[in-house]
Amino acid sequence: MEMLVNMMQQMVSMGKVPTNEQDWYKLTKVFLPPAELRARHPGFQQAWSMMTQGADDVEWNIARKIHSHIENEWKTNITLFDSNYDNPKYYPGGDGYKTLSGDVFEPVDHIEDFNQRNKEQPKGPLKNDTNATAWDTFNPFFDEISNVLKGLAGHITVELIAGGLSEELAKMRLGGDVTRPTSFPRKYTRMWLSNVPDYTHGPMNIAQYVVPSLQDDQQAGASCNCLLNTGSWSNDDHYFYTVICSEAVMDVLVLGALPLPHPLEDLASRDELTTWLTRVLFNTLIPGRTRLPPENVRLPNNLVAFFGLFMHLHCVGYPAHWLSEFLGRLLSGSMVSDIVPYGNMWPIPLEDMRRRVPSRHVRTDPWLVEFENIVATAYYAIPFPVTSMLPTGFSCEPEDIVVWEAGVTATLPFSTSWNPLMGYGSPYEPVTRLLFYRPSADAPGTLISGMPWIFEGAASPPPGTFFVLTAQELVQYETHIRFRLSTCRIERMRAEKWSMVLVSCPVTGWHLHPDIVLRPLSNKS
């Protein structure tokens, strides 16, 4: 990794003349203030004059004065603070600031390149001036930003939102953003997502949760890039799984909105839709394995997101009775299919879309309780009747589903290291599932390791003795977790003394977090 970083830094710095400020930074670990402010800082102007006049070293007493002043008077750049590095368990002695080995002048070079491209009368780049400073580059850049903001006075609003991208956009569309002023926009012409989709299931969730928040305009678009796991994808087709187009997408992906619903003749056939939905569902129920960073694909999406996709397909234009029949087969607890989940290293290769096996019965009963949560919560918004297809005892009232909290104590030795000998079990990645089981069921480790065989139709353990929740409300590995279940189900489970374990879907498969101590569940409605 260090070699890769060094190579990238060398590529960026090609053609650049070393500046005196680089020597200054080695001495002080700060950028040089503008000339107008240097008198406020003891020794700064003296040291800078020595450097620009060719001195090999700054006098020792001046350097000591500068270091003392910076140590006592300057404040650390708080934007570099990361609470992960303020955790005494995983980073003993850490102060919240990660040791950075990157080139601090790389952003300066990028801004200088931007300045050069946007000058009306380009001059020689500052990177060729040995006395050029970061201030000389950023000052004109922010001057232009200031001019733009003045020109847009009364026409621009900056809104800061603390929350998940998909969730907050959904609130805007559905009227749940009750704390936002009514004058604020709910739909947008441009959306730049950076690489947030790397953490929110990629292009599928962009299409499902982001694109509907674009204005009905052919020029409207949502853009992003991929940084978390770029090395996992051999080409653009691989990244999109051929659901977009065959043309190469260079650097940045842009998705636009189309009027909905589409004419049925423009959509996939019923067989094609069923095949695709089945594959998405099966790979959600039984995930494969993922590689170490920087090729880590977080596993997997959950059933709440799958059901959201399911409902979105009706908005796209697929007939309600197609979707209703598929959901009915799923809720029966068993499906007949010739599609198999992909159990090897993710990402899923393109050729897997053509893989088939002889048709067989597969079990969906371990996940039916979660569908009770979902269907009951969304019951009055589902665009087709579902009452007749619900299993016996299933609730269809939203108020029956309650958020519960369980205290946990985990002894799993989490690791943030990329060392293959230690594995990669980061305590910060939201890749968990909950397994609930009766005392008479198999040991949790057996259930977890045997889940692919159970899915493929194994008779034991029988339906009703265990179930899985793929989505949780909150997971704090070392303190508590929150999840949704009906009150009646919780009461039955307490009476029958059910147990629960937290399961992760990390690098090498599903692992039990050993010795989790479950305190009594408490209602968190």
DSSP string, 31-65: PPPPGGGGGGSTTHHHHHHHHHTT-SS--HHHHHH
Q: Say yes or no to pLDDT of 418 above 60.
A: no
The DSSP symbol for 508 reads T
Q: What is the pLDDT of residue 243?
A: 43
- The whole-number pLDDT of residue 140 equals 92
Give bridge partners of residue 501 from the DSSP assignment: 435
**481 strand-pairing partners:** 406, 475
Q: How confident is the model at residue 414 (pLDDT cuts 50, 70, 90)?
A: low
Report, as an integer, the average pLDDT of 413-438.
70
- In which residue are the tokens 């950076």 written? 194
pLDDT at 332 over 90: yes
- Which DSSP letter does residue 289 get? B
Token pair, residue 346, equals 């993710």
CA-based nearest residue to 353, from 487, 458, 237: 237
Q: How far apart are CA 2 and CA 291, in angstroms?
A: 19
Assign 486 a pLDDT band (cuts: 50, 70, 90).
very high
Read off the pLDDT band of 126 (50, 70, 90).
low
Angle between helices 20-28 and 60-73 (to 10 degrees): 70
Query: 54-63, 118-127, 362-371 — which is least confidently predicted?
Result: 118-127
Rounded to whole angstroms, how far apart are CA atoms 201 and 429?
13
Rounded Cα distance between 70 and 223, Å, is 41
pLDDT at 15: 53
Query: Which token pair is 247?
Result: 């043309």
CB 200 within 8 A of CB 164: yes
pLDDT digits (tens, 9 = 90+) for 194-251: 998 888 888 888 988 999 999 988 899 999 988 888 888 877 777 765 444 444 444 5
- What would the mean pLDDT of 24-33 be, rounded to a whole number? 95
pLDDT at site 87: 78
pLDDT band at 508 (very low <50, low <70, confident <90, very high): very low
Q: What is the mean pLDDT of the chain?
A: 84
Which tokens sit at 220?
A: 């409207």
Segment 417-429 mean pLDDT:
59
| N residues, the chain | 525
Alpha carbons 111 and 117: distance in angstroms, whole number: 10
Q: What is the pLDDT of residue 1?
A: 45
Supply the DSSP symbol for 183.
T
Q: Which tokens go with 472?
A: 């949780």
CB-CB neighbours of 231 under 10 Å: 13
Residue 43 exposed, middle or buried by CB count within 10 Å (0-12, 13-18, 19+): buried
Helices 368-378, 303-316: crossing angle, 10 deg rounding: 50
- Give phi and psi for 469, each to the nearest 5: -110, 120
Question: For residue 523, is pLDDT > 60?
Answer: no
Residue 27 in contact with residue 66, Cβ under 8 Å? yes
What pairing do the DSSP bridges indicate for beta strands 190-192 and 221-224? parallel
Give the up-direction half-sphere exposure of residue 82: CA atoms within 13 A in the CB hemisphere: 11
pLDDT in tens, 72-118: 999 988 888 888 788 787 788 888 888 777 788 999 999 999 998 88
Residues 128 and 130: their CA atoms lie apart, in Å, by 6
pLDDT at 411: 57
- pLDDT of 394 reads 92
- Which one, of 100, 142, 108, lies nearest residue 18 by Cα? 108
Q: Which of 33-42, 110-119, 184-193 is predicted least confidently?
A: 110-119
**∠ CA(312), CA(316), CA(318), 5° rounding?**
95
